[in-house]
Amino acid sequence: MIAHASTNESTLKLAQTVLTQEAQSLLDMSSRLGEEFLQAVKILLDCKGRVVVSGVGKSGHIGRKIAATLASTGTPAFFVHAAEAAHGDLGMITKDDVVLAISNSGTTSELLTIIPVLKREGTPLIAMTSAPESALAQHADVHLDIGVRQEACPLGLAPTTSTTATLAMGDALAVACLDAKGFKPEDFARSHPGGALGRRLLIHVGDIMRTGDAIPKVTVGVTVLDAVREITRKRIGMTSVVDTENRVVGIFTEGDLRRLIERVGDIREVKIDDVMTKSPRVIAQTALATEAAHILNQALCNQLLVVDEVGCLIGALHIQDLMTAKVL
- pLDDT for res 196: 59
SS3 81: strand
For 121-133, what is the mean pLDDT? Answer: 95
Question: What pTM does this model have?
Answer: 0.66
Q: For position 97, which CATH number holds?
A: 3.40.50.10490
Last residue of a domain, one of 150, 183, 216: 183
For 249-296, how does the pLDDT look when each residue is reduced to its tens digit (9 = 90+)? 999 999 999 999 999 888 888 999 999 999 899 999 999 898 999 999
Q: Judge whether 169 lies within some domain.
A: yes
Number of domains in the chain: 2
For residue 268, the model assigns a pLDDT of 86
Q: Residue 1: pLDDT above 50?
A: no
Residues 169, 48 share a domain:
yes
Q: Do both 33 and 119 map to the same domain? A: yes
Query: Which residue range(s) make up the domain with 298?
Result: 205-324
Does residue 263 belong to any structural domain of this protein? yes
| Domain contains 311 | yes
Please report whether residue 95 resides in a domain.
Answer: yes
Over the stretch 187-211, which tens digit does the pLDDT of each residue have? 666 665 555 566 666 789 999 999 9
CA 20 and chain centroid, separation? 30
- Check residue 313 and give left, alpha or beta (phi > 0: left; psi -120 to 50: alpha): beta
Find the angle CA(201)-CA(205)-CA(209) to the nearest 5 degrees. Answer: 140
pLDDT at 2: 47
User: Residues 55-94: pLDDT tens digits?
Assistant: 999 999 999 999 999 998 889 999 999 888 777 778 789 8
The reply to whether 194 falls in a domain is: no
| pLDDT at residue 184 in the model | 74
In a domain, 198, yes or no: no
